[in-house]
Amino acid sequence: MGLSGLSPEDLAAWVAASCEAQGVPEHVTDPLVVSRVSALLGQVRAPGARAPAQREHAPGRD
């Protein structure tokens, strides 16, 4: 199911129904959980985004 065609109201209703069906809260307030999710999302790049520059050799492995 694609979400790109949903209005903000329809998307909010879908999120609420999905969370209820899975038994999870719609909003997360636990600072540790928020931190972990933030770290995970920071590792996700947008489509077409360039990857960070890679080192040619790992340090200490010449």
Nearest one of 29, 5, 27 to 15, comparing CA atoms: 27
Domain membership flag for residue 19: yes
Domain membership flag for residue 30: yes
Mean pLDDT in consecutive groups of 10 residues from the start of the chain, 62 residues: 78 93 92 89 69 57 52
| Residues 13/14/20/25 CA torsion (nearest 10 deg) | -80
Domain housing 37: 11-42
Domain membership flag for residue 37: yes
Total domain count for the chain?
1
What's the pTM? 0.47
Domain membership flag for residue 62: no
Q: What angle do CA 35, 52, 48 make, to 5 degrees?
A: 90
pLDDT at res. 40:
87
